[in-house]
Amino acid sequence: MRSGMVFVNIVVPLLAGFAVSAVSGRYLIPFLRRVKAGQTERTDGPQSHLSKTGTPNMGGIMILLGLAAACIIACFLPGTGSAEVIPVLILSIGFGLVGFIDDYLKVVKKKSDGLSAKQKMALQIVIALLFALYITKINAIPLTMKVPFVPGLYLDLKLLNIPAFLFISVATVNGTNFTDGVDGLASCVTVATALFFTIAAAFFGSGAAAAGGAMIGALLGFLIYNANPAKVFMGDTGSLALGGFVTAMAYLLQLPLFIPMVGFIYFIEVLSVIMQVGYFKMTHGKRIFRMAPIHHHFELGGWSEVKVVAVFTIVTVILCAAALLGIWA
């Protein structure tokens, strides 16, 4: 694929995703206010977050609208096949729908618990399994994984490929979910991660680069309203969709072993919660962090939300740059 065509196939979906996401926010946010789909902040969380109570939730709909419109447009661009774009859209929307159901139950129906943890997990596993079957049977993409920094070496777990896929999918989705706790954090970190996968897809000559551009545009449009101070939150609708996007891009490019590096923030957010809960139970009340997920630890240590977002995004950009060397090695 010519470099000029690759550029167009990334930029056009990016612009389309941005436009749809940004414009939809003008209408969606007032609608969410009318239906009282507002966030309820934890009383035991950072006191600065209490003022956010009532901020419209479920803004992830904007991201999904931008992504969907841009991906559909991308399918008609020369050199971009739907086989490399639609799978990304399918898994993003699939996990996004799970998040939407959870958000709807919590913020619209006022059922405080939303979906139970078991229900969420079961739905995520079913969606991930269907996606694994889709890309292996229809797209004929193997579930083997490129080993970072080792030229030409791919890891094949054979019978464990599907269980590994399910674990990586659920772990990534829950990582993006925990990362969504500070204005603009999940969006900014995922823009950097999406840029990594977009560059990688272009390097491999994959049409999935268009899906990467679409997600970057959709997130930038959403950030107009989600940057501090946020006028809307993405909710589980958005955060679970981001996990689906990262998983889909990684597996289409056979790069899931790169997720712990480019998605380091997702990983450390989940790990901080596991460590905190485990240590709390083991010591009968003691804590490792001031609060988990770890972004709250830094907030309670005096960092502003803007600083948390800036530092976490910088870390992601640096790790993504290093990961690119792992592809080209």
Q: Tell whether the model's pLDDT for residue 1 goes beyond 70.
A: no
pLDDT recorded at residue 36: 81
CA distances from 55 to 38, 39, 228 (A): 5, 5, 12
Helix axes 235-252, 82-103, angle to 10 degrees: 150
- Quote the radius of gyration of the chain (alpha carbons, Å): 19
Least confident of 113-117, 176-180, 278-282: 113-117
Per-residue pLDDT of 296-329, as tens digits, reads 999 999 999 999 999 999 999 999 999 999 998 7
| Dihedral, 252, 85, 63, 162 alpha carbons, nearest 10 | -30
Per-residue pLDDT of 226-266, as tens digits, reads 999 999 999 999 999 999 999 999 999 999 999 999 999 99
pLDDT recorded at residue 139: 87
Q: Does the global pTM surpass 0.85?
A: yes
Please work out, in degrees rounded to the nearest 5, the angle formed at the alpha carbon of residue 130 by the alpha carbons of 273 and 176: 25
Using a CB cutoff of 8 Å and minimum separation of 24, what contacts does 40-45 make? 40/107, 45/291, 45/296
Per-residue pLDDT of 92-148, as tens digits, reads 999 999 999 999 998 877 776 788 889 999 999 999 999 999 999 988 899 999 999
Question: What type of residue is 295?
Answer: H
pLDDT recorded at residue 132: 95
pLDDT recorded at residue 53: 79
pLDDT recorded at residue 83: 85
H/E stretch holding 223: helix 208-226
pLDDT category, 6, cuts 50, 70, 90? confident
Q: Which residue has the higher pLDDT, 35 or 43?
A: 35
Contact call for residues 4 and 204 (beta carbons, < 8 A): no
Contact call for residues 256 and 145 (beta carbons, < 8 A): yes
pLDDT recorded at residue 210: 96
pLDDT recorded at residue 3: 64
pLDDT recorded at residue 113: 74
The percentage of the chain sitting over the pLDDT mark of 90, rounded to a whole number, equals 82
pLDDT recorded at residue 196: 98
Q: Tell whether the model's pLDDT for residue 41 goes beyond 60.
A: no
Per-residue pLDDT of 70-81, as tens digits, reads 999 999 988 777
